[in-house]
Amino acid sequence: MISRYKTENMEKYMDIIKEIAETHPHKVVLSNGKGEYKKIIFARKVLKGRNAYQLEKYTQTQVFHENIEEGRLAEHIAMHFPAEFKQMNAFSLTTDYDVKAGKKGNLAVSRRQAENKTILVGGNNRKKKYILDEGMDIPAFRELGIFTKEGKVVSSMYDKFRQINRFIEMVDDVLKTYKGDEINIIDFGCGKSYLTFFLYYYIVEIRHMTAHITGLDLKEQVIKNCNKLAEKCGYTDLKFKIGDINGYRTDRKVDMVVTLHACDTATDYALYNAICWNTTYILSVPCCQHELNKQIRSEELSALTKYGIIKERTAALMTDAIRGCMLEYCGYKTDLLEFIDIEHSPKNILIRRAVKKPVSEEKRERAKAEAERLCRTFGIHQTLMQLVLTEERSHS
């Protein structure tokens, strides 16, 4: 697997892999995969009374699990990094690592002191009280593999549990301004629909409102499974459809659009649909912004584009900045917020639009000019911006 890398380069990779393994990390994430697996997560557990690591190997459509002895962590990381994956993030009690494999065997390593935290290996840090918490009798959570039959969070699902609860907290905050007792929501790119089921339960069972929620995704089998589960749980107004975000149409008034890690430009089409529908609430956590990373260039600011990892992060931040500007240009009061601690997800920006308020022409034009200036500076074209401006020109 690793024979195509020069010996001296592999020594560098093995040095950092061994260094990470010696810190006994509670979590290692391999991402930016080029082969069969798109992501692999190593999570430290106590299995049969012994420390071990549980591997979650993600393909495009499935997740495979494997358990290994603690002492074989470095060996198993080296099986996949850097041959199959170009990004590695590791988290321990003392140090957090960000490692990126570049071209020609180049290696970029960032180390930072870990935040003060309590890690319960094989268990969960349950000090925080969540809106949807352990002990609640929620059949859908058990069926989705988030809760055990005793109502405890499955340890390997704890990061997902935190993410979804954080999203629900954001929804709870914006719904404080909502006056109706019925709400229509679309979840674009719903995937396995953890968020969609959480959201439905929260609105119907916690807020005691009527919710009509539609989850949209391209994967036929996933949609079939989600509809079966919704029917099994008696969630009559929770529906799932096969469809592309780009060009999706509905006759129903849409009060809220949500996306959680919709890939690349899928977020742009979701935001554009929300704009066209004059949606009251938008909550979007983007994912893998590849579009600008392929285009970005600047002679004057070459320091931001010459290093792969800096270029990647710059492109991601610019993508969300332009999205924010375009929402403001369309008259939306927009916030870009930290979604969740980067340890639990590197995709930690949430785009939120809570209420559409009158925005002065001056502020709208300023937002548009800021986005255009950014695009000129780096020689880029951004999908949401192109959609908005093309639509505007068609009506002028």
**Which residue from 343, 211, 346, 326 is spatially nearest to 285, judged by alpha carbons?**
346
Segment 352-374 shows an average pLDDT of 86
Q: Considering the entire predicted model, what is its pTM?
A: 0.68
pLDDT of residue 137: 86
Half-sphere exposure of 76 (CA within 13 A, CB side): 22
| List of residues 6+ apart from 367 with CB closer than 8 A | 325, 326, 328, 329
Instruction: Considering only residues 203 and 156, tell me which one the structure prediction assigns the higher pLDDT.
Output: 203
Instruction: Considering only residues 381 and 157, tell me which one the structure prediction assigns the higher pLDDT.
Output: 381
Strand order in the sheet with 256-263: 238-242, 210-217, 182-188, 256-263, 281-287, 349-353, 334-338
The answer to whether 111 and 119 have CB atoms below 8 angstroms apart is no
- Regarding whether 306 and 348 lie in a shared domain, the answer is yes
- Regarding whether 197 and 91 lie in a shared domain, the answer is no
Q: Tell me, yes or no, whether 123 lies in a domain.
A: no
- Regarding whether 102 and 146 lie in a shared domain, the answer is no
Q: How far is CA 20 from CA 24, 28, 78, 382, in A?
A: 7, 9, 12, 37
Q: Cα 159 to the chain's mean position, in Å?
A: 12
User: Could you give the number of structural domains in the chain?
Assistant: 2
- pLDDT tens figures, 303-359: 888 888 888 888 889 999 999 999 999 988 888 988 865 444 445 788 998 665 667
- pLDDT tens figures, 188-238: 999 899 999 999 999 999 999 999 999 999 999 999 999 999 999 999 999
Q: Tell me, yes or no, whether 322 lies in a domain.
A: yes
Considering 48-57, 68-77, 127-136, 332-341, the range whose residues carry the highest mean pLDDT is 68-77
pLDDT of residue 98: 92
Q: Tell me, yes or no, whether 235 lies in a domain.
A: yes
Instruction: Considering only residues 102 and 229, tell me which one the structure prediction assigns the higher pLDDT.
Output: 229
- Regarding whether 161 and 103 lie in a shared domain, the answer is no
Q: Tell me, yes or no, whether 130 lies in a domain.
A: no
Segment 262-291 shows an average pLDDT of 89
Q: How far is CA 376 from CA 316, 342, 373, 379, 391, in A?
A: 17, 30, 5, 5, 21
pLDDT of residue 7: 45
pLDDT of residue 105: 72
- Regarding whether 160 and 93 lie in a shared domain, the answer is no
Instruction: Considering only residues 194 and 262, tell me which one the structure prediction assigns the higher pLDDT.
Output: 194
Question: In terms of DSSP bridges, do strands 182-188 and 256-263 run parallel, antiparallel, or are they unpaired?
Answer: parallel
Q: Tell me, yes or no, whether 200 lies in a domain.
A: yes
- Regarding whether 179 and 218 lie in a shared domain, the answer is yes
Share of the chain above pLDDT 70, in %: 90
Retrieve residue 90's tokens. Answer: 């590791």
Q: Tell me, yes or no, whether 120 lies in a domain.
A: no
- Regarding whether 178 and 37 lie in a shared domain, the answer is no
Q: Tell me, yes or no, whether 2 lies in a domain.
A: no
CATH assignment at residue 143? 3.40.50.150
- Regarding whether 144 and 109 lie in a shared domain, the answer is no
pLDDT bin (cut points 50, 70, 90) of residue 294 is confident
Q: Is the pLDDT of residue 4 over 80?
A: no
Segment 131-152 shows an average pLDDT of 89
pLDDT bin (cut points 50, 70, 90) of residue 160 is confident
Q: How far is CA 175 from CA 103, 181, 203, in A?
A: 47, 11, 10
Q: Which domain holds residue 200?
A: 139-394
Averaged pLDDT score across all residues of the chain: 86
Q: Is the pLDDT of residue 126 over 50?
A: no
**Cα 253 from Cα 273, distance rounded (Å):** 12
Segment 369-382 shows an average pLDDT of 94
Instruction: Considering only residues 55 and 395, tell me which one the structure prediction assigns the higher pLDDT.
Output: 55
Q: Tell me, yes or no, whether 127 lies in a domain.
A: no
**What length is written for the chain?**
396
- Regarding whether 359 and 284 lie in a shared domain, the answer is yes
